[in-house]
C-alpha cells in the first residue's frame, strides 16, 4: 500500500539501526506515549533490535486502558437501564468493570450496540425517537473532534434523545504528571503523531524545557519509530532537549484548526481520573455549559458507584511505565484476553495485549531470551530482505474471536 510499504523497508530499518548503534554511548530510557506505537514496537521486535543502552518504556497512551473504572461502571449502569440503547466502539465491550463488562450486560438483555462512528449512534437516535441513545465517548485528542462534532450535530438537528458519556483525556498533562513522579526514569519521549496531527505541537516546548527532555513527534510504522528513536538519542547524546517533528507527512505545527475550533466550542478542560494512575489536573475534557444537557452522566444521574479493582491486577504500574507486562504475576495465567483483569490486556492498544499476542511464547522459553538481536522484516518478504535466519521469529496471535469494532486514539 502506498505510503505504508515505504515505511516498512527492512534495508532502511537496518540503516537506521546502524545509525542508532553508532550514536549511543550511554544508557537512555525513552517512553513511547501511544499504545499504537507500543504494539508496533512489540510486533516488529524493535525494542529487541535497539542497542542494549536504549530502553523503551511503554506509556499510558491507550485510551481504553486509562478510562477509569468508575466511568466503566457508570457505562454498565446506564447500559442496563430499560429504554436505553448504549453504543460503543467494540474494544470497550470486554473491558472489565467491577464484576462484569458490556458483553455481559448485552447477554443479560441490555441493548448494547457496536458502532464504527459516533455519527452511527446519532443515526440510531434519529431512528428510535422513543428511546435514549448513549454513545461512549472515550479517547485522546484524536477521537475527541468527531465526538464533539456529533454532539454539535445533535444540537443543530434538535435530536434530544442522544447523549454522550464522556471520558476524553489529553496527552500533555499526562507527560507532565509522568515527569513529576518520583519514580520516573524517562529521559525522552516519542510523542503520538496522530494526537499532534489534531492539536499541533505548541504545548510541548514548555514541557521539554521544564524537564530537559527531548520530545520527538513520531509515527507508527517501523521506520517512523526507528527515526523517532534516532532523533531522540541524538538529542540526548548532544545534551539537547527540544521538540522535533519526525512525522511531517501528517503533523503541522498548528495541528488541525477546524478540529481544534470544534473542540473549543463543545468541550472544556477539566481534571480527569486515569485508570491505575489517579486524577491528573487539566488532563481531560467535559462537555461545555452550552452542551451540558447532552451529558449522559447528568441525564442519568449515575452516582454512588462502588468501584473495586482486582487486587491481582498491576496494570496501573504498566501504564506508568514502572512495570513491563510480563513482570506482573497474573500475566498470561489469571489474566488473558479471554478473561482480562485489566483493560491493558483486552484493549487493541494495551501493552499487556501486545506482549500476550506477540511475545508470550518467547517469554515462556528462557533459552530464547538471550538470543542475539537482529534486524526484523517489518513487512512482506522481498527479494532483498534478510534471510529467515537473520530475522527473529514472531508469535502468531491465538485464535481469539475478533471484536466487532475498534476505537482509534
Whether residue 366 is predicted with pLDDT greater than 60 in this model: the reply is no
Alpha carbon distance 167, 165 (integer Å): 7
The candidate with the shortest Cα–Cα distance to 225, out of 102, 85, 378, is 378
CA 376 to chain centre: 24
Tell me what pLDDT residue 394 has: 34
Residue 107 near residue 155, CB atoms below 8 Å: no
- Tell me the C-alpha to C-alpha distance, in Å, between residue 11 and each of 18, 98, 141: 11, 48, 34
Strands 111-114 and 278-287: unpaired
pLDDT tens readout for residues 73-104:
999 999 999 999 999 999 899 898 988 999 99
Whether residue 219 is predicted with pLDDT greater than 70 in this model: the reply is yes
- Quote the longest CA-to-CA distance of the chain: 66
Lowest mean per-residue pLDDT among 206-210, 344-348, 361-365: 361-365
pLDDT tier at 305, thresholds 50, 70, 90: confident
pLDDT tier at 367, thresholds 50, 70, 90: very low
pLDDT tens readout for residues 280-299:
999 999 999 999 999 999 99
Whether residue 333 is predicted with pLDDT greater than 70 in this model: the reply is yes
Alpha carbon distance 187, 323 (integer Å): 17
Residues 125-139: what's their mean pLDDT?
Answer: 97
pLDDT tier at 386, thresholds 50, 70, 90: very low
Tell me what pLDDT residue 9 has: 83
Neighbours of 383 (CB within 10 A): 4
Whether residue 373 is predicted with pLDDT greater than 70 in this model: the reply is no
Lowest mean per-residue pLDDT among 148-152, 292-296, 365-369: 365-369
Tell me what pLDDT residue 401 has: 34
Q: Output the average pLDDT for the chain.
A: 87
- Give the global pTM: 0.83
Residue 47 near residue 22, CB atoms below 8 Å: no
pLDDT tier at 307, thresholds 50, 70, 90: confident
Residues 106-134: what's their mean pLDDT?
Answer: 97
Q: pLDDT: is 346 or 5 the higher one? A: 346
The segment with the largest mean pLDDT, out of 108-122, 315-329, 338-352, 387-401, is 108-122
Tell me what pLDDT residue 70 has: 92
Q: Specify the 3-state DSSP secondary structure of 274.
A: strand
Q: pLDDT: is 270 or 394 the higher one? A: 270
Alpha carbon distance 333, 319 (integer Å): 20
Tell me what pLDDT residue 39 has: 92
Please report how many Cα atoms fall inside a 13 Å half-sphere around the Cα of residue 408, on the Cβ side: 9
- Tell me the C-alpha to C-alpha distance, in Å, between residue 306 and each of 97, 167, 266: 10, 18, 30
**Percentage above 90 pLDDT, the chain:** 68
Residues 205-233: what's their mean pLDDT?
Answer: 97
Lowest mean per-residue pLDDT among 9-23, 264-278, 302-316: 302-316
pLDDT tens readout for residues 39-70:
999 999 999 999 999 999 998 888 888 898 99
Alpha carbon distance 39, 26 (integer Å): 26
Amino acid at each position: 500500500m502506498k505510503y505504508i510499504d515505504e515505511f516498512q523497508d527492512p534495508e532502511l530499518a537496518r540503516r537506521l539501526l546502524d545509525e542508532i548503534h553508532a550514536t549511543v554511548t550511554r544508557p537512555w530510557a525513552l517512553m513511547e506515549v501511544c499504545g499504537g506505537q507500543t504494539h508496533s514496537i512489540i510486533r516488529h521486535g524493535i525494542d529487541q533490535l535497539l542497542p542494549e543502552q536504549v530502553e523503551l518504556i511503554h506509556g499510558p497512551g491507550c485510551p481504553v486502558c486509562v478510562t477509569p473504572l468508575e466511568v466503566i461502571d457508570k457505562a454498565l449502569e446506564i447500559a442496563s437501564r430499560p429504554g436505553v440503547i448504549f453504543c460503543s466502539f467494540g474494544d470497550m465491550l470486554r473491558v472489565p468493570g467491577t464484576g462484569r463488562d458490556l458483553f455481559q450486560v448485552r447477554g443479560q438483555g441490555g441493548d448494547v450496540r457496536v458502532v464504527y462512528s459516533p455519527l452511527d449512534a446519532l443515526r440510531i437516535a434519529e431512528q428510535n425517537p422513543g428511546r435514549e441513545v448513549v454513545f461512549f465517548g472515550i479517547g485522546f485528542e484524536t477521537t475527541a473532534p468527531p465526538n464533539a462534532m456529533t454532539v454539535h450535530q445533535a444540537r443543530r438537528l434538535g435530536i434530544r434523545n442522544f447523549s454522550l458519556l464522556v471520558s476524553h483525556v489529553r496527552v500533555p498533562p499526562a507527560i507532565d504528571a509522568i515527569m513529576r513522579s518520583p519514580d520516573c526514569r524517562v529521559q525522552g519521549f516519542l510523542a503520538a503523531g496522530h494526537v499532534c496531527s489534531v492539536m499541533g505541537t505548541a504545548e510541548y516546548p514548555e514541557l521539554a524545557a521544564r524537564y530537559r527532555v527531548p520530545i520527538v513527534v513520531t509515527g507508527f510504522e517501523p521506520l517512523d519509530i526507528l527515526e523517532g528513536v534516532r532523533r531522540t538519542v541524538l538529542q540526548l547524546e548532544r545534551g539537547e532537549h527540544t521538540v522535533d517533528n519526525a512525522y511531517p507527512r501528517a503533523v503541522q505545527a498548528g495541528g488541525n484548526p477546524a478540529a481544534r475550533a470544534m473542540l473549543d466550542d463543545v468541550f472544556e478542560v477539566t481534571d480527569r481520573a486515569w485508570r491505575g494512575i489517579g486524577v491528573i489536573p487539566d488532563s481531560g475534557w467535559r462537555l461545555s455549559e452550552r452542551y451540558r444537557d447532552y451529558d449522559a452522566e447528568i441525564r442519568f444521574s449515575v452516582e454512588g458507584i462502588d468501584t473495586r479493582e482486582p487486587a491481582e491486577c498491576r496494570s496501573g504500574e504498566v501504564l506508568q511505565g514502572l512495570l513491563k507486562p510480563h513482570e506482573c504475576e497474573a500475566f498470561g495465567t489469571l489474566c488473558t484476553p479471554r478473561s482480562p483483569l485489566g483493560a491493558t490486556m483486552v484493549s487493541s492498544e494495551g501493552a499487556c495485549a501486545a506482549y500476550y499476542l506477540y511475545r508470550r511464547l518467547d517469554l515462556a522459553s528462557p533459552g530464547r531470551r538471550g538470543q542475539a538481536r537482529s534486524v526484523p522484516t517489518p513487512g512482506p518478504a522481498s527479494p532483498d530482505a534478510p534471510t529467515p535466519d537473520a530475522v527473529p521469529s514472531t508469535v502468531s496471535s491465538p485464535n481469539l474471536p475478533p471484536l466487532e469494532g475498534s476505537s482509534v486514539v
